[in-house]
Structure 1
């Protein structure tokens, strides 16, 4: 048995384990995707996940699509402990860096009178364009749009639009520096 056959068998077994909670066709991988231990990709209610070519998914990354579309662009690095959860859509562009323990969600609970456990969800798509760096423990909330060439400092909270070519930090994230063009 040649090494190519062994790798094909291992890849087949690995993919079944990785996406065991998804139906056939709900998760698509492009070429050269690297996946570390403990990665979970879960699709429910017809949700779909696409992982672009050259993507790295670090240890214990969790991606959950609940009737939503999640797209991770080519050559994006998703560090360990990151959580991506969608009920509408989350799009992450090419050539991104996502630090450790980042959380990206397109939904949260609506707040009104009555029992908290029976509240509806407030849902708005999230767009993270290409060439974006999210530092460790950044939280990206529903309805956020992070334009290309943005750096977000560690422990920041993103809600709304972050314009391209700048560094943002804080709670909520505010522009702290304009990046010089190349």
Structure 2
């Protein structure tokens, strides 16, 4: 009983974060347990349409000068993460399976004298566009600079690092080989 009350309190707090941010526009949304919105005070915008459903354990990050637009009737299943340092657009009637990750950025890195140096707080960014009527299966990762056209299906486990034309199904092929002993 206590956990149910505590989770209801946390949901109200997260809704207050969204409603009170001057650059945030909200339609009718439903949020589950353990949903976290981290909105920079200087973000460009966060717009969420009507009938958007955030299930449990969702993480949404919108940084300084970044823009996140989620159109009407979008569904984000459990454990999804949207990390916006530049610009992310999610079209209407789009469905995310569990554990979908969006990253519109990548760490800057260099190689000098055979040594790799990764910058933990410097990034290269490029927008992500996901069209309307798309379905991203469980464990899909979408990387910076990608555009996914309307009416696409992205199969479970795919890492999308190139543009996907409209009306396309993307599958991750992996052969399982069984050898008898």
Class of the TM-score when normalised by the shorter of the 2 chains: 0.7 to 0.9
Which blocks of at least 5 consecutive residues in structure 2 are unaligned? 1-7, 174-181
Question: Within 2, Cα distance between the matches of 1:164 and 1:117?
Answer: 35
**Which of 25, 37, 41 is the aligned partner of 1:41?**
37
Structure 1 residue 60: Cα displacement: 0.8
Is contact 1:39–1:61 with CA below 8 Å preserved after alignment? Answer: yes
Aligned residue pairs: how many? 160
Structure 1 residue 14: Cα displacement: 4.3
Is contact 2:108–2:122 with CA below 8 Å preserved after alignment? Answer: yes
Quote the RMSD (CA, aligned, Å).
2.4
Question: What SS class does the counterpart of residue 109 from structure 2 fall into?
Answer: coil
Change (3 A) 1:118 1:63: closer
TM-score (norm 2): 0.80
Structure 1 residue 124: Cα displacement: 0.2
The answer on 1:138 being equivalent to 2:134 is no
Structure 1 residue 27: Cα displacement: 2.6
Is contact 2:81–2:102 with CA below 8 Å preserved after alignment? Answer: yes
Structure 1 residue 28: Cα displacement: 2.2
- 1:156 corresponds in structure 2 to 158
Spell out the pairing of 1:21-100 with structure 2 (5 A cutoff): 24-31=21-28, 33-47=29-43, 48-67=45-64, 68-100=66-98
Change (3 A) 1:16 1:116: same
Structure 1 residue 12: Cα displacement: 10
Structure 1 residue 43: Cα displacement: 1.0
Structure 1 residue 61: Cα displacement: 0.7
CA deviation map 1:94-141 (0-9, x unaligned): 000011000001001122136423573110000001001000000000
